[in-house]
Amino acid sequence: MDLELLTKQTLDIVRQASTFIQQEAALFSRDKIEYKDLNNLVSYVDKEAEKLLVAGLSAILPEASFITEEGTTGQEPNPTALNWIIDPLDGTTNFIHGIPVYCVSVGLARGKELLIGVIHEPSLDEMFYAWQGGGSWCNGKSISVSAVQLLQESLIATGFPYYKFEKQKRYMYLLEILMQKTHGIRRMGAAAVDLAYVAAGRFDGFYEYNLNSWDMAAGVLLIKEAGGTVTDFSGSDNYLFGGDIVAASGAHKELVEVILENF
pLDDT in tens, the chain (263 residues): 899 999 999 999 999 999 999 998 887 766 666 665 544 456 788 889 999 999 999 999 999 999 998 888 877 778 889 999 999 999 998 998 899 999 999 999 999 999 999 999 999 999 999 999 999 999 999 999 999 999 999 999 999 877 677 888 999 999 999 999 999 999 999 999 999 999 999 999 999 999 999 999 999 999 999 999 999 999 999 999 999 999 999 999 999 999 999 99
pLDDT of residue 39: 41
> Are the C-beta atoms of 129 and 191 separated by less than 8 Å?
no
pLDDT of residue 19: 96
125's CB contacts (< 8 A; 6+ apart) are 139
The C-alpha atoms of residue 67 and residue 88 are separated, in whole angstroms, by 11
SS3 at position 263: coil
pLDDT of residue 29: 62
The C-alpha atoms of residue 249 and residue 157 are separated, in whole angstroms, by 13
> Are the C-beta atoms of 216 and 197 separated by less than 8 Å?
no
pTM of the model: 0.94
Report helix angle 213-225 to 191-199, nearest 10: 0
Domains and CATH numbers, the chain: 3-143 (3.30.540.10), 151-262 (3.40.190.80)
The C-alpha atoms of residue 23 and residue 109 are separated, in whole angstroms, by 30
